[in-house]
Amino acid sequence: MSGTEAVMQAVRLARYHTKRSHLARFAGSYHGWWGEVQPGVGNPVSPHETYTLAEMSERTLHVLRTRRDIACVLVNPLQALHPNGNAPGDSALVDSSRGANFDRAAYGQWLKALRDVCTERGIVLIFDEVFVGFRLAAGGAQQYFGVPRRHGPPTAKSLAGGLADRRRLRPQGLECAAIARSPRRRLLRPPAPSIRTLT
């Protein structure tokens, strides 16, 4: 499963279980190459079920508290390096013009406030750790920033990519692992294949 597909599945499952239609993402964040998270140039269809919000903003928390149609919030931990701004382009690697304002404590406080609002409103908070994997901590960005953990993040290929010390790595469930405990899990099981004998 690609990173884009892992995030798409997490969003799809969040929508299914919350019975809500919209997702929220933050300005400048990257969550793969699919229409709902790639607004702007190159996307022929405007994402009509996506809210793009500002990080580290009290107004964002107000939107999350008052809207009733938000199924999930996508967080890319790399945004801690440049909240509300686009990631540095490839040209920054050539001329060394890249820079970052990283305040771990402030970003951790923001994520804790975000977790509290999402928990209060029944919104699924998805930490998109497809790129970061377990580079920050064995428990991912949630452990690194001190955010109470409810589920594991979508990691896709990075889980098996040798990025973590497998002796320390605890079994990680995906954000969608809650389905295993869902009373509706019977609806998600595919029907048993029928075996037909060809003669």
pLDDT classification of 170: cutoffs 50, 70, 90: very low
pLDDT classification of 112: cutoffs 50, 70, 90: very high
Provide the residue type at 69 as one letter: D
Backbone angles phi and psi of 125, in degrees to 5: -100, 115
pLDDT of residue 177: 40
pLDDT of residue 140: 84
User: Encoding tokens for residue 92?
Assistant: 């920054």
pLDDT classification of 96: cutoffs 50, 70, 90: low
- What is the C-alpha separation between 59 and 70, in angstroms, rounded? 15
pLDDT classification of 4: cutoffs 50, 70, 90: confident
Q: Is the pTM of this model over 0.75?
A: no
User: Encoding tokens for residue 116?
Assistant: 């509290």
- What is the C-alpha separation between 118 and 41, in angstroms, rounded? 30
Check whether 64 has a pLDDT greater than 80: yes
Q: Are strands 50-53 and 70-75 parallel, antiparallel or unpaired?
A: unpaired
Domains along the sequence of the chain with CATH: 3-188 (3.40.640.10)
* Sheet arrangement for strand 70-75: 50-53, 22-26, 70-75, 124-127
**Are 163 and 133 in contact, with CB atoms under 8 Å apart?**
yes
Residue tagged 């869902």 (tokens)? 182
- For 16-50, the pLDDT digits (tens) are 999 999 999 998 888 877 777 776 666 666 678 88
- What is the C-alpha separation between 100 and 77, in angstroms, rounded? 13
Give the residue among 105, 106, 140, 138 at the shortest CA–CA distance from 125: 140
Of the candidate ranges 81-90, 92-101, 122-131, 148-157, the one whose mean pLDDT is the lowest: 92-101
- What is the C-alpha separation between 110 and 102, in angstroms, rounded? 13
Under 8 Å CB-to-CB from 104, ≥6 apart: which residues?
80, 145
Check whether 102 has a pLDDT greater than 80: no
